[in-house]
Amino acid sequence: MNIKDLLAKIVKGEALTDEEKAFVADYDPEKVVNSTAAAVRKSAEAKLREKEADLEKLKADIVALKAEADKKADANKPELEKLAGEVDNLKKSLAEKDTAFQSLESEKRQLIRNGKLGKIMAGLKFVDGLDPEIPRLALERALAVIDDANLDSADQVMPIVEKFRASNKAILADTSGYGGGGHPKDSSGAPGGLTMTKINNMSPAEFLKQKDAIWAAEQKGTLK
């Protein structure tokens, strides 16, 4: 059963069955957002652990090659030069994997933060014709003082959101609610069929390849 299909029936004035009414009554958008963020964190952390294991293996390989090179230094200089080249290549590979490790960690944090920002933005409605990116950037800057872990804390977020509302009344169509508005009007879905489940199952290479599309979908709040 899909909440969007049920909302469409309501808009059309179609009657809901008792089972559908119960589903709508029990639907909790905050629980859906939290469950999705937890799944993203779990997947990203698993990928990070895999990268850490790769790094440790490379370090062990370097130590072993260095020991072999030291042993053969006096007996076989050409072999030493070859091993030195292999060590250099391993060091380069280690540096590249370390960079990838840091990049993946950063991407994971940003994705989780964007999900929380999207939840906050979903509680604000703006006048027709206004590019939502403009107020989003302004609110994002205002919320920059709150770290990722506390971005879903109403006690810390609400004062900033209320100040934003007070300073931007001219562009707000409806100032009621916080974090309970569900998805924005444009719920047609992310470009290319991107969903949080698909992002969860992406390999690091595929994630990096599609990060621009994922970022755009996060900004629009169209990820399902």
* pLDDT tens per residue, range 186-219: 444 455 567 766 776 777 667 777 777 777 776 6
Contacts of 44 (CB under 8 A, 6+ apart): 104, 105, 107, 108, 111
- pLDDT tens figures, 28-59: 666 666 677 777 878 888 888 888 888 888 99
Query: What was the pLDDT predicted at 182?
Result: 39
In the chain, which residues have pLDDT < 50?
A: 175, 177-189
Query: What was the pLDDT predicted at 217?
Result: 72
The Cα–Cα gap between 67 and 32 comes to: 53
Mark residue 193 as left, alpha or beta (left: phi above 0; alpha: psi -120 to 50; beta: remaining): left
Query: What was the pLDDT predicted at 184?
Result: 40
